[in-house]
Amino acid sequence: MLLKELEKIIRIVEKSEIAELEWEKNKERIRIRKDNGPAAPMNYYAAPMQSAPQAREAVVSVAPAVATAAEAAKPAARGKEVTSPFVGTFYSSPSPTAKKYCDVGTQVKKGDVLCIIEAMKIMNEIEADFPGKIVAVLAKDGQPVQYGQPLFQIE
Amino acid sequence: MAHKIRKVLVANRGEIALRVIRACKDLGLETVAVYSQADEHSLHVKLADEAVCIGPAPSKQSYLNIPFVIAAAEVTGADAIHPGYGFLSENAEFARICRDCNIKFIGPKPESIALLGDKVSARTTAVKAGLPLLPGTKGAVKSLEEAQSEANKIGFPVILKATAGGGGRGIQVVHDKEKLASSFERVRSEAGAAFGNADVYLEKFCQSPRHVEIQVVADEHGNAIFLGERDCTVQRRHQKMIEEAPCPVISEDTRKKMGAAAIALVKEVGYWNVGTVEFLLDTDRKSFYFMEMNTRVQVEHPVTEMITGIDIVKLQLQIAAGEKLTIRQEDVKLKGHAMEVRINAEDPDTMKPFPGKIEGLHVPGGFGVRFDSFIYDQYTVVPHYDSMLGKLITHEENREMCIKKMLRALEELKVGGIKVNSAFYSKVLKNKKFLDNQYDTNFLEEFLPKKS
C-alpha cells in the first residue's frame, strides 16, 4: 500500500465513528484501531480542550504487506460468523485426548458438531447451521466465551 | 472483612448494578457485570472488573436467564451473586440454585423468599408473629346479619368487595351502619350480574391511607435491627415516585411499634440480610396494618442511608460474608429529612417513555445532594427495560429545607437529547397538600394525564 493511500485511510477512520477497521486483500492485511484513551491532559498552550468523545488517537498496526486501498470499507469478512448461543467454556474436542471436532480447512455439513460449550457441567454441542468450509477458528480451547461471541468463520 | 466472598457477580443492570459494583469496590471485592446485547455500552459494564454478555435484549433471555447467569459466575469464578432488585432478586428458585452451585446468594435464604413471596403464607406468618392485619372477613359474608356483625366488629367505614370482582367493579364503601343493608344488597346483585358470583367480603376501609415501610437488617447469627421507616405514599398506579424518610406524620411511639412488629416478623421467619416490611398507615396516623415484606434491597434505600449514615448495600455484602452486625438498635439515630424522586426517561406531561441518545448532561451536586444514576453524556438510553434513569436524593435538616433543596437540584439537572420527568416533580413538590403533609395514596391522581 502506498503511504498516501494509508494516510487517506487513517484520516477517514479518524473522522468517522469507526472504532476498528480491518482490511484484507490478497493475503495482505492492515488493522487500524482507534484508541479513545483518557482525555488530553490540561495544556494551557494548546487549543481549547474538546469533549472526551472527540479526543482521538489512531493506532496503526500493519501486518505483513498492505493491500491496495479504495475507500474505507466495512471490516472484510469471509463467509458467515458462528457466534456462541451460550455462556460457558469453549472446547474444541469432546475430551482432552480426543481429536478436534474441526479445524481451519474442515468441510462441514449442516448439523455437524463444531465444538462444545460447557456450563454447569452440561456439555452443549454446537452444530453448524449451514454447510461450508471453516476459514477461521476464533476461540481457543478452554477459553470462557460469552453470549454472541464469535467462534468460527465458515465460508 | 471475612474471607468468605472474593468476587461478586451482579445479576442486574442500570443504576442498582452500579450501586452494587461501587459498594463491592469500596470493600475490596472483585466485580463481574453481566449484560444483554442491548446493554453493551451501559455504565455498569464499563465499571466492573469483568463483564460477560449473557444474551439478547429481552430480559427473559438475558437478565432472567438463570442458566446463563450461573454459567457467567462459573466462567469468571465469581463466588457470590448480588441480585439487585427486580429480575431474579425475589426468585426463591434462583436463590436455591445458587446455593446448590456453592455460590453465595446475597440476600435471605431461599425458604424465606418463598415464604414471604407468597401473599397467603406471608399473611399467615405475619399473624403468627403478632402483626396487625387489615381487619376483614376471611371469606364471603353469607348474610346481611353476618355483614352487620362483622362491620360492627371492624368499625366503620368498611368496604364491600366482590370476591370475583375486578376493574373497580363490585366495590362499595359504606360509611355508616344505616347504609349497610342497602349497599350489601346492591353489591351482591351487581356482582352476580357482572361476574356470575354474588359473593361479597368485608374489609376495614382506610379513608386516607399512607404507605409506610420499615427497613430491617439482620445478620446470619440472629441479630436484627431496623433503620427507621420510609414514607412512599406518593405513587402512580402503584408505582412509587417520591419517597421520604422519616415519615412526616407518625409519632416516635408509632415508629417504635412498627419497628418492633417488623423485627418480630424477621425473627419469626429466621430472616437474614436486608428487607423491608410494608405497612398501610390508617387515617388516624397511629393504626397500621401489615401489607407485605420485600425480601431484597429496595429502590428507595438511599433515603434511609442519608438519615442514618449507614451504607445498606455494604451491609448486605458484609452480612453475606458471615460478619456479625455491629450496629445495635440504640446506635441507630435518624438525622434530618431525606427525599428521593425517580428520574425517568419520559415526557413529563404525557408520561410516555422517551428513550434515545443523551446529548449534554449536567448533574446536580453540592452538600446533601446525591444522584444515583447510570447515565452519561452520549449514552443511548435503550427502550427494552424500565425507563428509570436514576434517583435524585436530597438530605437536609428538616422536611421544608429538604424540599427546597430538591427543587433546586431538579432545576440543575439537565439531560439533553431526551425527555425526563423532572418538571413533573417540580410541580408536585410545590403543591400545598404535599407541603402540608395532607396527602394520601390517592394524591397523584390529580397529576395524571387526563384520559381522552
Identify the pLDDT of residue A33.
Answer: 77
State yes or no: cis peptide before B157, omega within 30 of 0.
Answer: yes
Per the CB < 8 A criterion, the answer to whether B124 and B116 are in contact is: no
Confidence of residue B180 (pLDDT cuts 50, 70, 90): very high
Residue with the larger pLDDT of the pair B293 and A22: B293
Residue B252: is its pLDDT beyond 50? yes
Radius of gyration of chain B (CA): 23
Of A13, A35, A63, the residue that ends a domain is: A63
Compute how many other C-beta atoms are within 10 angstroms of the C-beta atom of residue B318: 20
Residue B147: is its pLDDT beyond 80? yes
Identify the pLDDT of residue B432.
Answer: 95
B71 contact residues in A (CB cutoff 8 A):
86-88, 119-120
Looking at the structure, tell me whether residues A112 and A140 fall in a common domain: yes
- Inter-chain residue contact A87 with B76, CB threshold 8 Å: no
Looking at the structure, tell me whether residues A108 and A54 fall in a common domain: no
- What distance in Å separates residue B339's CA from the closest CA in chain A? 33
- Inter-chain residue contact B53 with A147, CB threshold 8 Å: yes
Residue B68: is its pLDDT beyond 60? yes
Per the CB < 8 A criterion, the answer to whether B219 and B272 are in contact is: yes
A146 contact residues in B (CB cutoff 8 A):
52-54, 72
Strand partners of residue B315: none
CA torsion angle for B95, B100, B104, B109 (degrees, to 10)? Answer: 40
Asked if residue A7 belongs to a domain, the reply is yes
d(CA B321, CA B221): 12
- Inter-chain residue contact A120 with B70, CB threshold 8 Å: yes
Asked if residue A93 belongs to a domain, the reply is yes
d(CA B109, CA B372): 28
Looking at the structure, tell me whether residues A147 and A109 fall in a common domain: yes
Radius of gyration of chain A (CA): 20
Residue B178: is its pLDDT beyond 70? yes
B134-148, B173-187, B291-305, B408-422: the lowest-pLDDT one: B134-148
Looking at the structure, tell me whether residues A54 and A85 fall in a common domain: no
Looking at the structure, tell me whether residues A40 and A89 fall in a common domain: no
A·B CB contacts under 8 A: 46
Interchain contact B77–A (C-beta under 8 A) = no
Per the CB < 8 A criterion, the answer to whether B395 and B306 are in contact is: yes
Residues 346-385 of B with CB under 8 A from A: 377-378
B27-41, B190-204, B431-445: the lowest-pLDDT one: B190-204
Looking at the structure, tell me whether residues A90 and A150 fall in a common domain: yes
Beta strand B337-344 pairing with B239-245:
antiparallel
- Inter-chain residue contact A148 with B37, CB threshold 8 Å: yes
Per the CB < 8 A criterion, the answer to whether B194 and B181 are in contact is: no
A69-83, B69-83, B307-321, B403-417: the lowest-pLDDT one: A69-83
Number of independent structural domains in chain A: 2
Backbone angles phi, psi at B120, to 5 degrees: -70, -50
Looking at the structure, tell me whether residues A50 and A111 fall in a common domain: no
Asked if residue A74 belongs to a domain, the reply is no
DSSP conformational letter for B13: -
- Inter-chain residue contact A120 with B74, CB threshold 8 Å: yes
| Exposed/middle/buried for residue B15 (C-beta within 10 Å: 0-12, 13-18, 19+) | buried
Residue B2: is its pLDDT beyond 60? no
**For residue A107, what is the domain's CATH number?**
2.40.50.100
* Residue carrying C-alpha cell 367480603: B201
Asked if residue A68 belongs to a domain, the reply is no
Residues 43-72 of A with CB under 8 A from B: 51, 53
Q: Is the ipTM of this complex over 0.95?
A: no
Interchain contact B45–A (C-beta under 8 A) = no
- Domains, chain B, ranges and CATH? 7-106 (3.40.50.20), 144-204 (3.30.1490.20), 210-447 (3.30.470.20)
Residue B12: is its pLDDT beyond 60? yes
- What distance in Å separates residue B56's CA from the closest CA in chain A? 8
Identify the pLDDT of residue B451.
Answer: 55
Of A32, A63, A94, the residue that ends a domain is: A63
Identify the pLDDT of residue B167.
Answer: 66
d(CA B28, CA B296): 23
Q: Which residue of A has its CA nearest to B77?
A: A144
Confidence of residue B3 (pLDDT cuts 50, 70, 90): low
Residue-wise pLDDT for B93-139, tens only, equals: 999 999 999 999 999 999 999 999 988 899 999 999 999 999 988 77
CA torsion angle for B74, B75, B78, B82 (degrees, to 10)? Answer: -70
Confidence of residue B350 (pLDDT cuts 50, 70, 90): confident
A147 contact residues in B (CB cutoff 8 A):
37, 52-56, 62, 68
- Inter-chain residue contact A119 with B71, CB threshold 8 Å: yes
Asked if residue A72 belongs to a domain, the reply is no
Residues of chain A with confidence (pLDDT) below 70: 1-2, 25-28, 35-77
Looking at the structure, tell me whether residues A7 and A51 fall in a common domain: yes
Average of per-residue pLDDT across B200-211: 91
B38 contact residues in A (CB cutoff 8 A):
none
Strand partners of residue B353: B346
- What distance in Å separates residue B55's CA from the closest CA in chain A? 5
- Inter-chain residue contact B68 with A147, CB threshold 8 Å: yes
B73 contact residues in A (CB cutoff 8 A):
none
B52 contact residues in A (CB cutoff 8 A):
87, 144, 146-147
Report angle CA B264, B269, B275 to the nearest 5 degrees: 75
Asked if residue A109 belongs to a domain, the reply is yes
Looking at the structure, tell me whether residues A35 and A91 fall in a common domain: no
Q: Could you give the angle at which helices B119-128 and B252-269 cross, rounded to 10 degrees?
A: 110
Helix segments in B309-361, DSSP class H: 312-320
* Residues of B catalogued as catalytic: 296
Beta strand B80-82 pairing with B7-10:
parallel
Asked if residue A95 belongs to a domain, the reply is yes
Residue B40: is its pLDDT beyond 80? yes
Looking at the structure, tell me whether residues A46 and A91 fall in a common domain: no
- Inter-chain residue contact A147 with B54, CB threshold 8 Å: yes
- Inter-chain residue contact B67 with A119, CB threshold 8 Å: yes
The parent domain of residue A101 ranges over 80-154
Asked if residue A75 belongs to a domain, the reply is no
Looking at the structure, tell me whether residues A116 and A59 fall in a common domain: no
d(CA A104, CA A90): 16
Residue-wise pLDDT for B375-407, tens only, equals: 999 999 999 999 999 999 999 999 999 999 999
Looking at the structure, tell me whether residues A95 and A144 fall in a common domain: yes
